Amino acid sequence: MKRVVLMTLAAGLFAIGCGDETPSGSSGSGAPAGSGTAVALADSDLPVSADFEEEAEKGISNSNYKSELDALEKEVDATR
């Protein structure tokens, strides 16, 4: 319930902040400059676990896997 109220309030404040005024240096479209062209990505551009297997086999062993896992979890949590 609290989340719904907070999200509604945030949406309302966002709508109020989005006026008709165009800041100087803006393209006027509301989109960042240069965002008009979509970038096509191929499947080969996306990293997958197989791309990291060789590095993991060299750097992770039975004696250090717990510390490596902790480091990865911290890295993931830092990006949230």
Count structural domains, the chain.
Answer: 1
Domain that holds residue 70: 48-80
The answer as to whether 34 is a domain residue is no
The answer as to whether 11 is a domain residue is no
pLDDT at 79 over 60: yes
Burial of 60 (0-12, 13-18, 19+ CB in 10 A): middle
Higher local confidence (pLDDT), 49 or 5: 49
52-75 pLDDT tens trace: 899 889 999 999 999 999 999 999
The answer as to whether 52 is a domain residue is yes
The answer as to whether 64 is a domain residue is yes
Which position has the token pair 């990865």? Answer: 72
- Of the candidates 69, 49, 46, the one whose C-alpha atom is nearest the C-alpha of residue 59 is 69
Centroid of chain to Cα 37: 20
Rounded-to-integer distance, Cα 67 and Cα 58, Å: 15
The answer as to whether 73 is a domain residue is yes
